[in-house]
């Protein structure tokens, strides 16, 4: 089969994604294909200013490796900060490129290269204390950060220098880690946490090294890692393949690290073709979506653990540590993998829901002295900004945290995933205002200009520009939540169905137009949607499209006061015209109640942003007896 030219280029042999070309349905567009504005771009600009362009912050992270023992004293995870933030910076650059950002990224890569020790390690653990705590986890993030840099690197000599450094970095690990019968330390014993789950996640970058270099030593090492099953307590990969247990029923339930292991297993499947591991990954994703994703698109209502969050989200017990931003981003990344692998629109639906609620809600827009991203998100009445996830003290009485470093990757992924390539054409997911510039299957330049205020407005107008008429497919995601969607091509209506892609295969001409009208009526969500009875969980949630609505104390009405809803003849929630909010928000509405009064709501992402009791908030609203 003749490959689409974008796939042939981006997924060429010698790239970290080479094997995807033979297994996946959807593919990332080339760097520079995106030019967009709107809510996501505003968040990206803010994070660039507060974090990614901060040269002193990058230097602080690099210095942990120059010391070579920064994590010895408490077996900590300062080692993850640089690579985790580097991955995010590169993903942001891919969807929103700028010369200024690239210059900062390249500068810190060059700085990091100077810290490689005589054994080839990039490490914050001394030789005497290595292969303990979070050492391999941190070395994993050096791989991932550098590997993502290779995707944007402009300098061929620097590209080779980085790849050579990573090869030495890998050799230093493989010399010491492996089967005990070879006199090495077992990978799952190279940590004292989570039965080795964090160390086993090294699988993903090792598989990426195999695809980058073609060297069989990496595949051999990956085979060894897979054979160990993710934890020393049980084989998680086999459990997922069997498909009888949900992740919260596994012996080890640490959400972020578990998903990271399965991301590596999916790369292993793509190279080896072992179908059972594809099944295992899909089973895990489906089980998480079914049992452990909450109203805001995150997991974990008990710390950062899978805990049957679909049910646990209604537990009124005070919980300050829940819905971790690291889990949000990692879940989004896994949904992206599922979207590319299967081509099923439900995974784009999941990503979008997490993006507009959990992730954008974590962006620190209002607290001047806080980290760029908050770590945990409330669902029942509570506050943001309670605890810094992954807190570690740094030099000069400063500190940092894991969630602050991972957030940029979620923003970048949101931009990257707004449109994808397939063998038959281009598919649109998130309908951000702006332009997608790419190639047709025949290799001709074409662009899609989107004019919309989505997700605040349901009308999306798309103009098609191309040099020559050509027959190919434009796929349009029709979200599952949109109950009454309409699509017009050159003003002629085309039938569509919710929860799938509308595949428009036709001869496209310059000047063709598409109009999509999605259903943004305010809808209610009851606990029954998560398998819980309203009699046991007397709460209700509201959403406008992919945006969950929330109450906030600053709106002038107690958030714990029970509500009733006035519904129209179709069962949708009645609201008055947009209300004036005393603080910045995407959406501000007055919701009508059965007694003729109203209560104010805003979008979840804008609520609670003072991180104090002043802006206590909730997504699940207590309902009166009549509403039950």
In the chain, pLDDT over 90 holds for what percent of residues? 95
Rounded-to-integer distance, Cα 262 and Cα 227, Å: 13
Report residue 628's pLDDT band, with 50, 70 and 90 as the boundaries: very low
Rounded-to-integer distance, Cα 354 and Cα 301, Å: 15
Residue ranges matching CATH 2.60.40 in the chain? 434-517
Q: What are phi and psi of 489, to 5 degrees?
A: -115, 120
Tell me what the mean pLDDT of segment 528-533 comes to. Answer: 95
pLDDT at 2: 66
**Residue-wise pLDDT tens digits, 273-330:** 999 999 999 999 999 999 999 999 999 999 899 999 999 999 987 677 899 999 999 9
Pairing of strands 617-618, 547-552: antiparallel
Does pLDDT of 428 surpass 80? yes
Report residue 5's pLDDT band, with 50, 70 and 90 as the boundaries: very high
Does pLDDT of 34 surpass 80? yes
Does pLDDT of 627 surpass 50? no
Beta-bridge partner residues of 622:
539
Mark out the alpha helices in 214-320 (DSSP H runs): 216-228, 236-242, 255-272, 275-291, 309-312
Rounded-to-integer distance, Cα 15 and Cα 19, Å: 9
**Residue-wise pLDDT tens digits, 496-509:** 999 999 999 999 99
Tokens of 459: 């009308």
Pick the closest to residue 139 from 108, 109, 116 (CA basis): 116
Tell me what the mean pLDDT of segment 184-202 comes to. Answer: 96
Beta-carbon contacts of residue 80 (< 8 Å; ≥ 6 apart): 134, 137, 138, 141, 390, 402, 405
CA 430 to chain centre: 14
pLDDT at 557: 86
Residues 431-435: contacts with CB within 8 Å, 24+ apart?
431/460, 431/516, 432/36, 432/37, 432/38, 432/40, 432/41, 433/36, 433/37, 433/38, 434/34, 434/35, 434/36, 434/37, 434/38, 434/41, 435/34, 435/35, 435/36
- The number of beta carbons lying within 10 Å of the beta carbon of residue 612 is 14
Tokens of 526: 């009851």
**Residue-wise pLDDT tens digits, 46-97:** 999 999 999 999 999 999 999 999 999 999 999 999 999 999 999 999 999 9
Rounded-to-integer distance, Cα 179 and Cα 221, Å: 10
The CA distances from residue 77 to 71, 316, 362, in Å, are: 7, 32, 21
**Residue-wise pLDDT tens digits, 328-349:** 999 999 999 999 999 999 999 9
**Residue-wise pLDDT tens digits, 358-376:** 999 999 999 998 999 999 9
Rounded-to-integer distance, Cα 182 and Cα 341, Å: 36
Instruction: Give the end-to-end CA distance of the chain in Å, rounded to a whole number.
Output: 56
**Residue-wise pLDDT tens digits, 150-186:** 999 999 999 999 999 999 999 999 999 999 999 999 9
Pick the closest to residue 198 from 186, 188, 206, 185 (CA basis): 188
Beta-carbon contacts of residue 46 (< 8 Å; ≥ 6 apart): 363, 365, 372
Q: Is the dihedral of CA 276, 178, 406, 418 positive or negative?
A: negative
Longest dimension (CA), the chain: 76
Pick the closest to residue 381 from 621, 575, 545 (CA basis): 621
Tell me what the mean pLDDT of segment 592-600 comes to. Answer: 94
Report residue 524's pLDDT band, with 50, 70 and 90 as the boundaries: very high
CB contact burial 292-324 (16+ within 10 A = b; e otherwise): bbbbbbbbbbbbbbbbbbbbbbbbeeebebbbb
pLDDT at 581: 86
Does pLDDT of 241 surpass 60? yes
pLDDT at 153: 98
Tokens of 270: 């793509």
Beta-bridge partner residues of 116:
none
As its CATH architecture, domain 434-517 has: Sandwich (2.60)
pLDDT at 626: 45
CA 526 to chain centre: 26
Tokens of 271: 């190279």
pLDDT at 318: 63
Tell me what the mean pLDDT of segment 517-522 comes to. Answer: 97
Residues in the chain: 628
pLDDT at 396: 81
pLDDT at 397: 86
pTM confidence score: 0.97
Rounded-to-integer distance, Cα 115 and Cα 496, Å: 55
């Amino acid at each position: 089969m003749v490959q689409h030219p974008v796939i042939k280029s981006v997924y060429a042999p010698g790239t970290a994604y080479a094997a995807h070309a033979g297994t996946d349905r959807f593919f990332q567009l080339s760097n520079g294909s995106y030019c967009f504005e709107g809510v996501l771009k505003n968040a990206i600009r803010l994070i660039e200013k507060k974090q990614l362009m901060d040269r002193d912050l990058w230097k602080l992270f690099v210095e942990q490796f120059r010391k070579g023992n920064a994590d010895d004293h408490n077996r900590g995870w300062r080692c993850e900060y640089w690579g985790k933030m580097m991955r995010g910076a590169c993903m942001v650059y891919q969807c929103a490129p700028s010369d200024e950002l690239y210059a900062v990224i390249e500068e810190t890569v060059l700085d990091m290269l100077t810290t490689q020790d005589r054994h080839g390690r990039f490490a914050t653990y001394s030789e005497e204390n290595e292969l303990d705590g979070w050492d391999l986890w941190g070395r994993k993030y050096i791989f991932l950060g550098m590997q993502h840099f290779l995707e944007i690197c402009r300098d061929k000599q620097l590209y080779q220098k980085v790849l050579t450094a990573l090869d030495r970095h890998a050799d230093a690990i493989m010399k010491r880690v492996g089967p005990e019968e070879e006199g090495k330390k077992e990978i799952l014993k190279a940590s004292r946490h989570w039965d080795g789950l964090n160390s086993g996640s090294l699988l993903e970058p090792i598989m990426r090294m195999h695809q980058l270099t073609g060297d069989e030593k990496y595949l051999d090492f990956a085979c060894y890692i897979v054979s160990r099953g993710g934890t020393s307590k049980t084989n998680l990969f086999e459990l997922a393949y069997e498909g009888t247990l949900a992740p919260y029923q596994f012996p080890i339930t640490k959400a972020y690290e578990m998903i990271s292991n399965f991301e590596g297993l999916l790369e292993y499947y793509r190279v080896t073709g072992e179908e059972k591991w594809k099944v295992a990954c899909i089973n895990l994703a489906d089980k998480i979506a079914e049992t452990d994703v909450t109203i805001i698109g995150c997991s974990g209502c008990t710390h950062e653990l899978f805990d049957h969050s679909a049910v646990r989200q209604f537990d009124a017990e005070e919980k300050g540590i829940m819905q971790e931003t690291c889990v949000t981003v990692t879940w989004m990344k896994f949904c992206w993998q599922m979207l590319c692998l299967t081509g099923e629109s439900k995974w784009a639906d999941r990503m979008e829901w997490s993006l507009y609620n959990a992730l954008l809600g974590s962006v620190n827009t209002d607290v001047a002295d806080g980290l760029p991203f908050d770590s945990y998100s409330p669902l029942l009445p509570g506050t943001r900004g309670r605890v810094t996830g992954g807190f570690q003290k740094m030099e000069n009485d400063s500190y940092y945290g894991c969630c602050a470093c991972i957030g940029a990757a979620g923003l970048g992924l949101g931009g990257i995933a707004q449109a994808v390539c397939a063998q038959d054409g281009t598919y649109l997911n998130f309908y951000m205002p702006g332009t997608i510039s790419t190639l047709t299957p025949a290799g001709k330049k074409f662009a899609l200009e989107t004019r919309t205020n989505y997700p605040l407005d349901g009308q999306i107008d798309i103009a098609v520009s191309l040099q020559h008429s050509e027959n190919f497919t434009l796929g349009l995601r029709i979200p599952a939540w949109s109950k009454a969607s309409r699509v017009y091509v050159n003003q002629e209506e085309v039938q569509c169905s919710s929860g799938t892609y509308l595949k428009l295969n036709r001869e496209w001409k310059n000047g063709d137009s598409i109009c999509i009208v999605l259903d943004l009526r305010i809808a209610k969500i009851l606990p029954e949607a998560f398998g819980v009875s309203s009699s046991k969980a007397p709460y209700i949630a509201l959403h406008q499209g992919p945006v969950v609505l929330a109450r906030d104390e600053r709106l002038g009405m107690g958030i714990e006061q029970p509500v009733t809803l006035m519904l129209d003849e179709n069962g949708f929630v009645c609201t008055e015209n947009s209300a004036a909010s005393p603080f910045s928000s995407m959406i501000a509405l007055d919701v009508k109640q059965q007694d003729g009064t109203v209560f104010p709501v805003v979008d979840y992402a804008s609520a609670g942003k003072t991180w104090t009791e002043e802006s206590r908030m909730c997504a699940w609203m207590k309902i009166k007896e009549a509403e039950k």
